[in-house]
Each structure stands twice: as C-alpha cells, then as structure tokens.
Amino acid sequence: MRALILSLALAVPVLAAADGLPTSPYIQVSGHGTLQVVPDMAYLSLSIEKIAPDAAAARADVEGRTAKVLEVARKAGVADKDIDAPSVSVYPQYGCEGSGLSSVSGDCTRKITGQHVSRSVTLTLRDLSRYGELVDGLFKAGVTDLGNVDMDRSDRRALEQKARALAVADAHDKASGLAQSAGVTLGPVYSIAEQGAAFGPRPMMARAALAGSAAADPEFLNGKIEISADITVFYSINK
C-alpha cells in the first residue's frame, strides 16, 4: 500500500502556492546570456531650430533647412520609410524686460522676445559605410543639433533569441550544480520568466565640425553592441 501511495505522489504534478511558488521542494536560479556583435545600422535623432521675432520667418528658415536635410539623407541611401519628420513646433521665447535683470532671481518682468521654431527628424541608416557622408552632409544642410546616435542590428530578434538560449543554458548549469552539491536530483522546469533584454555600449562617433567645408568626414570608430537576456527559472526537485 505504501508503495502505491508513493507512486501516486510522484505522479501528481507540482502545485503552486498562492504566491505562485511551488509547494514542493524546488531550486530557483537566474540565467544570463550575452552576445557581443558589430552593429550594421544606426538611428540618428537630429533637430533643426530657429529663433526669430517673426514666427513665419523662423518657420520658413526651418522648413528650408529641413528640405536640405531630407535631400542629404536620400542621397546617402536613406529610404523614405526610414525617415520620420513630423511637423514643426512653435513656442514663444521669453526674456527679461530691462537691462541687468535676470529671470532666475524673479525680479524681472517676463516678455516675449521671439518665436522658437523647431523640427525633429529621425533617420534610420542601414549602411554604416555611409555614416560619414551622411553626417557631414547634415551639418552642411544646417542641422542645429545631432543628438543620439543609437547603434543596432537588423537581425536583432534572432540575436535576442540566441541570447535567451544562452541564458537558459546558464540557468540549467547553475541548477545542476546546486542539485549535485545538495545531493538531490534535478527535476523538470516548473516555471521560467524573462527579465528583459538590453542594449549594450554604443560605438563612439566623432561629430563633424560646424564650420569649414574642408573638414574630414566624421570618424567611425568600430565597436560592438551588447545584446543580452536574463531569466529566472524554478526547477522541481525529484523525490
């Protein structure tokens, strides 16, 4: 009878408590997987801005330079589907009335000194060999600021899956080692959850000089980005 009861107990699936943890003995481990890969594409975020007393004049200036920016992007091989250029934004520029007064101290009367017109543009460059050509052309076209340059891979999803596989293998190695050290037998996976993936360090890119048409193309310093995955796994312990 005892043998029959024991065999039935082993056949019962692992149950979970109210907090989601197994009610029978288990091993909890974390796993980490990392890939270091060379990027093959980039996202560039830039802005074109102008402050002028007249909003129409400022907007005409911004729109003119934006047209040149889009022309440069297309010549560098950026397709229209990889260009995001929303409409301009306009807001008043404030200053202090009277000389020698500062708005920081709160002792001045604020007044509108001009209109600030800006337009943001995001480009997806899928051929990094043309990075220097693109950035040099953007500054010549009148870009006010070249902000973030985020490196990425066109096959990111496949690489993330490889990173997850490495994380699962890492977790299994840890769990097997713990089970062996504790003198127990590792059972099946009770639950597994991913904690998230992450971007890694970005290669550094030198900016083009704002003045001088004879300046060399921006230098591209080759580097790698990191694609990683972290998981948490609960393993049952065999009875």
Sequence spans of domains, the chain: 14-39+153-239, 41-149
Q: Which pLDDT tens digit goes with each residue over 163-206?
A: 999 999 999 999 999 999 999 999 999 999 998 655 554 554 43
- Compute the C-alpha angle 213/219/220, nearest 5°: 140
pLDDT, averaged across the chain: 82
The DSSP secondary structure of 45-72, one letter per residue, reads EEEEEEEESSHHHHHHHHHHHHHHHHHH
Beta carbons of 125 and 44 less than 8 angstroms apart = yes
31 forms beta bridges with: 231
Q: Give residues with Cβ within 8 angstroms of 41, minimum separation 6.
A: 124, 125, 126, 128, 151, 152, 153, 154
User: Which residue is listed with tokens 């989601």?
Assistant: 20
Q: Residue 6: what pLDDT?
A: 33
End-to-end CA distance of the chain: 18
Task: Report the candidate in 66, 79, 207 with the shortest Cα–Cα distance to residue 131.
Answer: 207
pLDDT band at 213 (very low <50, low <70, confident <90, very high): very low
User: The CATH number of 14-39+153-239 is which of 3.40.50.1170, 3.30.110.170, 3.40.50.300, 3.20.20.140?
Assistant: 3.30.110.170
Residue 65 token pair: 């330079």
Measured distance CA(206)–CA(13) in Å, rounded: 59
Per-residue confidence band for 108, with pLDDT thresholds at 50, 70 and 90: confident
* Max CA pair span of the chain: 99
* Lookup result for tokens 């093959």: 40
- Whether domain 41-149 has CATH 3.30.70.2970: the reply is yes
Distance CA 93, CA 213 (A): 31
Q: What is the dihedral of CA 29, 30, 33, 34, to 10 degrees?
A: -140
- Angstrom distance (rounded) from CA 167 to CA 34: 8
Q: Which two tokens stand for residue 209?
A: 């000089």
pLDDT at 3: 39
Q: Please, which residues have CB within 8 angstroms of residue 66's CB and are 6 or more apart in sequence?
A: 48, 85, 119, 121
CA 162 – CA 199 distance, rounded (Å): 15
Q: In the prediction, which pLDDT does 16 show?
A: 53
